[in-house]
A and B are shown apart, each in its own frame.
Chain A
Amino acid sequence: MRPLTLRRLLWTCGGLSALLLASVVLALKLGAVPISVTDLVLDLGRIALGRANELPSEYRMIVFDLRLPRILLGILVGAALSVAGASFQALLRNPLADPYVLGVSSGAALGSILALIVAPGLALMTPIGAFIGAMATIAGVYFLGRREGQLDSTTLLLGGIICASFFSAIIMFLMTTLAGRDLRGMVFWLMGDLSTPISAGMQWVFTVGLIAATGAIYSTSADLNLLLTGEREATHLGVDVTRVKLVVYVSASLLTALAVSASGAIGYVGLLIPHAVRLIFGSDYRLLIPASALCGAIAIVLADTLARTIVPPTELPVGAMTAMAGAPVFIYLLRRGLR
């Protein structure tokens, strides 16, 4: 028997944090204006010492005003989506669950857009609208996926995909009629994109929301391990199933809402990352949640760097990159599950 120990947990998370730092440095370096790693490290050192004003100004603008905020946003979004995906997988007992596949991302996007239409002046309305949209969608998909009181895996996914395409159609309708064919906005909400910076105030809202929701989910991670063996069994082993499901449902919806209101509906991250983490580190949620958060951050930072640099000077939306990688994996998992 080799159960998870605190030691192994900390070592794994430490290693992944180092990898995340390395990807951040790489993402800062790569781009239309190349910058050497040595310069970067020296500059980061200067900033740490509080001598940021000694840096050359146009250079500082590229690296620290353009690239760094986008990277930080990528970290938040990647972590949020991966943790949300892992949570939905436990909540619905379905390895294919993912905020995008279940239509929760599209629901959150629609919620954001409606909030923008109703109250265009209030910055906080976007994430709140997204949160309501996400909660309503997952509740709807959950009831669509029930058959004779049982949660049916295939019906659930079908319900999610139908919801996603229905919401996408409404988003297109709204963007065309109200925003006057705002194609860039449409790509943002339907595909996901990190190129729109968010305000400093919103960055705080996101960071706090991410930490609170991930913390809440993490506090139930031992329960989630048992929930995956079935609700009835979990009850007999002492899990307060109703409470755990409520905590995870609200927190995962919040994570999806935050990610979507900041970057649109980036797909498949929540599916791809927890699956890869399970293959490498096992399916214990006490390790899966933090490892997914870190790996999700790494994946989005790298995917966005690739999206920025693959066809210069044009930039691809990061959602296109994740869908290109994620859809084949989804099909593979689906086929394997059917066998």
Chain B
Amino acid sequence: MMQRMLSVWHARNLEFVRDRSTLIFTILLPVALIVGMSFVFGGKERPLFKVGVLTQTLDTKAHPFLSERFVDFVALADEADAVRKVSRHSLDLLVDVKQPVRYWVNPSSPKGYIVEKLLLQTDAAAHRQPVSGDAVRYVDWLFPGILGMNLMFSCLFGVGYVVLRYRKNGFLKRLHATPLTAFEFLTAQVFSRLVLTVVVTSILYTGIASLIHFHSAGSMLLLLGLMLLGCLSMIALGLTIAARFSSEELVGGLLNLLTWPMMLLSGVWFSLEGSPQWVQWVAKVFPLTHLLDAARAIMLDGAGIAAISTDLIYLAVTAVAFLAFGAWSFRWRVE
């Protein structure tokens, strides 16, 4: 029995080691994950309060309050947007340290109540600007993230593995013998997955929204349009991976290499506000970040098409670019 197991074990090891591309990704993926997570979760302990400061660049010497410990001070230039964040409880307090010092606080926010005391200890003359608005529950904030993550997995893996299987079992080769072009094949795959994902996500949205008593503040039609563009972009991204490779392990590794950073950096679970600027720039590369930013803007803030136009354009451009690259690099058969 041992001899039989050893024979199979040895042969499988040879197969694995000789598949160089897979071997490299098997080593690279965990290293990339460790490095990525150390940047996102590493560093100092998280502060207790988050306070916005109306300024272009943060200068802690501008006011004694800005030297308080356990407070995360975030520089914000857009006053209206910053006040909206206070009303939504995503900032505990907003302060403008130019004289006369003004601050905005939501009286219904418990953390706002405490951080206000801290401010008044250092500057009793600061002028209070009360802001009203219900807190955005974490579940409301998380809701678009979970839907977006589900959509991302469905789009990337659903198309990537199917095309790979078709190539490996010779079905693509058979299709190549017909007048079907690579572009026609890929477009059919994209739209099949698009319809499926949009229907499933819509059902999930309706079901979960009724469970957590959530009502989108913005247009449902705009949300649907955004979902279509987001799906298109991510399906096309999956196709760029599946366009030419024939190893399940390599394609699996590449898809993981894409999905894990997106899951951590695109704001599925937590906001990247306050994280290093370069992390936020990296996050902006991922289609999922644009999808979630725009979805939250529509669902939580009632944003219109103009407010999310940058995200819509990014998703449309990446969808076209990924699809074009996928069609260009597409291979019908195992090489």
User: Are both chains from one complex?
Assistant: no
Residues of A within 8 A of B (CB): none
